[in-house]
Structure 1
């Protein structure tokens, strides 16, 4: 009840505060009625009336909630104020229209004073109502707080009384009839082995506690038998442990439910689990990769029933999982054991992961040696071809320069002869010469010949650029690093691969002009850029087979801190997220069999990361496709950079 009263007082307080606000707005607008223009007076009146209406509404609402002389005064003054405002507005309007009589001026002043007095009266009454509402609300809040505090104390004392009564009941009833009997059962349950078999739990009756005592007697006997079984099992385990601890291979005993029953220390070391993590767990869930689990489970189920299987009594190479998720390459031998009316498996496992890594490194080295030999042979052949092409190209280029220079002289002689023929006396010879000079073919030749020679020179310059790129790319490499210009190496690679990408994609370059020389093996870096370029071209070709559109390859370089950053972006199909961690692995390829060796990106990774202490990453191209980003350390002094620049 006190809370409801407080809510009503809060609503009354809010209304009284709104009342004061409306009175303030009325006071403001009543002064504006004395304005100097008709529009100002009429607008002030239009704004004043809604405030008077709202004031009247609030006064009526407060009069229903509380009976107060100030509210009655306010209500009466509100009605008078409405009339006074209308009269003052009308008189003021007539005055501004200059239609008033002489007596109107005194009447206007009188009503304006009355209007201001009424506003003051309303303001005083509203302030009194607000103050009274505030005091009433504060009093009710204080009263509600006192009532709440008294109720809290009452509830607390009632709760304490109930708890004390419950404790007294439980102490006398449960102690005598329940707790004592339960303690007896608990005593026998805690020490079943030390109690003779013939001794019964001394709890009698037909209730649930007596039934619990009989169950404890059965549990005592079961535990006694379990102790005997455990002793026998301990002896058997001790004998097995002595045999298997000395074996370096991992040994497993698997029951017909695919549950691990025994592992030796070598298995714990090999797979990273402790013994407690192995025992009772499913072998295939722990150690077999997901893609093989279904097949392995079916094979074990068939083995447990028939004692036969494709891997029985054979050394089989299999993939197993380490605890950290790493895949291990293993040799597995499986034997069989008849036990509990089912066939159990005894497996021994040898970890050959390191042996496989050594074998892979050996194959990689052999592949790299073969690739290096092929590249060297192609390089020598390309160098010879470049040299053979370069000599006649120089002849043609020099001759074009000579022809271009000679054309100007011939044109000068031709013009002089034509002018001489035109100024000479008319004769058959001069007319024939003039006619020949006016021949359109001759004029066309003189007009187009310089352009043809210029285009031929552009072609020869492009041939020269290709030859220089071939010579630079086919230069015999060595393991010695030197300071080279990354932009020039990229430019040479783009030129060499032009014939491969010209019908597949456009190449855009954004080379930073201030790239410093970096310490690198130029032939190896050329190989990296060539592999990335070929990879981008092939990716766009695969994509174009679907969309039939010309792709784009974007190559950029930038210098940042002590590194040069090179990015090669294409608009192909991109590299899926799930294979990015394997994209640089040796022999890994997404191409069909026979179309890729899986060595290109692996060689790039080896050259950039292992041989040049850089980084290479693959990500998504914002324009679709993939973007490969290479970061190479500069490792050059400022003096060396300045001398190379000069």
Structure 2
């Protein structure tokens, strides 16, 4: 309109809205008549405005107020509330706003206006009451200045030729007129704002609609799934490019032209097609409906259809709309997966049969093996499985064990330290009936029925231990048999001089008895009156023949030698008894110094002719927890080997060798060192000396079992170490370290108290 084609729709609408509103306002103003009261007030207002303006400056009495003085007074009044700099800044702003910055004096009316503005500024910070109170002091506004201000107001009213009542009426008139104009202006502004908001909302809605249409058109055209609308008769109304692409057409228009009836796409599947349309015509939506369709090339494809019917207000079917997805590749993959699934199930069935067969085989082995097998849950420490041997060995029924009636806590130490993978650990098992049997324990981490567990395998080694004791005893007896001649010689020597001493003591006792008889006869003769001098000479002669002084010296010495010989024999017998006693399966306290002393006594006849024995024992008498019998056997083999090595080196030489045995307690345990200055061991044989049946001696002088058994006793039974250091022609040193408490003995791990 009017050629304004370049305006935007919003600007065009605003322009015509304002134009219509202005025209309507003018028309209403012309047609609307004023009331008599409004006419009177208008005439009075016009008459008043025709008068000359009142000269405000002339209304005063000519006196002036100095700005600098009043500014100082105001700074003092405001100083109680603000800093001086802020007060000066506030007054400067007001002076500048009123145009008084270039003037030195002002009228009283100007000063009153200045005070009013200062009070308004101060009221914004401290409140109106405090601001008014602060500016009513005599220094700010004197009584004379107030009187002059009242006179100025009176002069103004006189110049206006109007009474106070008329002045109030006019003021009220102007206020009413001003309020009327303000209300009318606000109403006009409100109507304009409403119209602008309505226009803006309409523009926004139109833009949103266009954007939504563009968005949905973009979605429709760019969707990967085919979108369609079909009439109730089956005619294809709308199709997007994706549907045309799925069905093999170049564009949606080609699809609409080539397929007038959508039913022709589903040839060969009449029953399924009729079921699809029957369900939609009944008002039920279709979800994931799979059906075969004919491609433009003639091949068959699979479609997955989601559709819903659209009805009008009368319930008549308007159209059917939905989406179609090409699932040919997925269908092929599903068919392939189904075949794989069937093959997999067949393999699983075959594998399951194999597993069942293996499970039955393992169950047979588990029940037939001569070992107790117990499966324990790692987390809950509860028995999950056990075999028949476990029931017999532990003396606890399978049902009772699986029902937690015989929990692992009651079978210590068999079920202790399960988190440590240990193999071939010997321990003593306390059975349910109170008997104890030695067992060999192995712990293996396993997974049983998908649960992490431990397999505890226990072997009953009672027969093995009995055989070991028999072998150990036989070895001891063999050693004792080899030492028998020497021990007999060691016992025979003190017996010989004990026998000589006893013969001497018997003869001496006979003589003393004879002297005692002479003494009694002499006493009796004196009592009968015989000559005492003759009796004394006769007694002295017999005492001289007896040699009492000699008996006094020799008898005590003979007794002492005999007692020493008896103690020596007793020590040898005691050592032999200790050495030959049967081996015990339980750990006990072993005094290392005492064990070495007994072994040295037993083997004395082996080494005394070829070597001197030097003992450097720890005065603290270190003790360990161990097996005394096997340790004595180890020490004996070491001493005998040392003495024979020295004898082989010395030959017929008169000079003896030396064997040094020392003990020392440390943090790790007790260290026993046995050193000799024999011929030594060749370097190529050092790695073989602990092997079974290895020996460097001639046939018939050794079977090579001594050091092998010694190694087993130290390392396996006592969890210690044995090392050898040897130099050919210089000698050999064996170092044995025995821990205070072998692993699994239940000791605290520290040094035992010496005994």
TM range (shorter): 0.3 to 0.5
Q: Relative contact order (C-alpha < 8 Å, sep 6+): which is higher? A: 1
**TM-score between both structures, scaled by the size of structure 1:** 0.36
**TM-score between both structures, scaled by the size of structure 2:** 0.31
The structure whose residues are more often helix, as a share, is 1
Largest Rg, 1 or 2: 2
The structure whose residues are more often strand, as a share, is 2
